[in-house]
Amino acid sequence: MSRRQQGSADVKTFDGFPAEAFRFYQDLEKHNTRDHWHRHKDTYDSCVREPMEALAAELGEKYGAVKVWRPQRDVRFAKDKSPYKTYQGLTAGSADSVGYYLQLDAEGLRLGGGYHGLSSEQVERYREAVDDGRSGAALQRIVDELTADDWNLIGERLKTKPRDCPADHPRVELLRYRSLAADRVHRVSDGIDGEAAVRLVRDGWDALGPLVDWLDRHVSTTGGS
């Protein structure tokens, strides 16, 4: 990976993700052990971690604070004791559980944006905004446009409608969500160069911008609602 000078700091430039990055996770899915990890840690550092950190620095110019997540799993309360995540995650603008994310795994690159892990207060704010004729209709238009463009709506959902919600509510399906996001997988397991990867992430996150902005405005306890 090349480097460029930025003031007095020696900053790595983002040259993309090589095919080895995706093969690393293909192998890790089969051999998720500490011994395997440490035997291939050089590949993780050079093909995954360093490019992801360089990409985070580049994205930060537009999206603010960008965080590269650690590869270790928290297995304290998990039945699955596999020590490592089978993906590398990156998030932006994630204050108060809202923002964008990027995930690199064996399949390729997964882009997403929305809210995760809402508090009870935030769920209530969300439902009030969805129930409202103006803000709820705006969200419906946003998710309709996203799903028409092959984005998948994801999030924690009730099995049935919320209590006291009319069965014929025009947005009953949206009211079932307790957290809401959209994501899409781009299969680039043969590798992707830096310019194409940055364009892919920016175009994807920009498409998700209306959803993230709506959630930030109406659900975030620090937003503009």
Domains present along the chain, CATH in parentheses: 3-218 (3.30.930.20)
Condensed to tens digits (0 to 9), the pLDDT of residues 182-191 reads 999 999 989 9
- For residue 149, the SS3 value is coil
Which pTM was predicted? 0.88
Q: Which residues contact 90 (CB under 8 A, 6 or more apart)?
A: 52, 55, 56, 59, 66, 67, 68, 69, 101, 102, 103
User: Tokens in use for 64?
Assistant: 């603010």
**Does position 172 have pLDDT exceeding 60, yes or no?**
yes
Report the alpha-carbon angle 112-83-71, nearest 5: 40
pLDDT at 6 over 80: no
pLDDT in tens, 108-166: 999 999 988 788 899 999 999 999 999 999 999 999 999 999 999 999 999 999 988 99
The predicted pLDDT at position 189 comes to: 83
pLDDT at 101: 95
pLDDT tens per residue, range 136-148: 999 999 999 999 9
Examine the pLDDT at 195 and tell me if it is beyond 50.
Answer: yes
Residue pair 113/99 in contact by the 8 Å Cβ criterion: yes
